[in-house]
Amino acid sequence: MSDLVSTSCSFPKKWRSGNAGVLITLLGLAAVLAINLLSIKTGVYDAMSTDDAMRFVEVRDLINGQGWFDLWQYRLNPPGVLMHWSRVIDLPLTVSILLLKPLIGVHDAESVTLFSLALLLFAVALALVVAIARQMSDGAVTSQIGAAVLAMLAKPALIHFQPGAIDHHNAQIDLLLALILFTLQIERSANQGRAGGPRSIAIRWPSALKCCPRSLR
């Protein structure tokens, strides 16, 4: 890892600062493209996938009194199906709707939450990508801008950050980026690595458990 950092820091200063203007321009163009890719042509409810809709049903049931540890979906293939998804993802959705409900009503609270949460997670992903680039390049501005440009052009990943995308995939991407950042920090601060890595793994584990073979669950 030290070789990786030292190699990235050995570029001449003109490469680290002279091309900043060009990269900032590319950053702006990438932002415009990312906005286009993240935009939806229909209402936020119509933009949701079937998984997003299933997550939304879980959140509504939780708000309406279903227990936190009760993961049964009684209307899915009656008499019901035990869902394998974690409640961790339901928490910010539920809190947002409950906080906005007295101010703008239930429907608008749901719409605002569905529209904004994925975009907020995308902002977190960008911040983590920039932080990883800063860690690996010893603070080179051009590396950070370049990383942000590449992140905003990652079309396959951007699908998971469109408004209405409330499934767990965007949160998993953020937590994986956080794990990478904490891993990189081990070299400079063992305490940060030890403290941050297990936390991101612990949070990510429940939402990623479905990826494991059934025999390992």
For residue range 16-54, list pLDDT tens digits in order: 444 555 666 666 667 766 676 666 666 778 878 888 989
Q: What is the pTM of this model?
A: 0.72
Contacts of 138 (CB under 8 A, 6+ apart): 5, 8, 9
Give a yes or no: residue 66 inside a domain.
yes
Number of domains in the chain: 1
On whether residue 52 sits in a domain, the answer given is yes
Around Cβ 106, how many Cβ atoms within 10 Å?
14
Where on the phi/psi map is residue 103: left (φ > 0), alpha (ψ -120 to 50), or beta? alpha
Q: Which two tokens mark 64? A: 């309406």
Q: How far apart are CA 124 and CA 151, in angstroms?
A: 12
Write out pLDDT tens, residues 59-93: 999 999 999 998 888 888 888 888 888 888 899 99
Which range marks the domain in which residue 69 is found? Answer: 2-212
With 70 as the cut, is the pLDDT of residue 213 above it?
no
Decide if 151 is inside a domain: yes
Is the pLDDT confidence value at 169 over 80? yes
Per DSSP, the three-state class of 82 is strand
Examine residue 217 and state whether it is found in any structural domain, yes or no: no
Residue 138 lies in a domain: yes
Q: What is the mean pLDDT of the chain?
A: 76
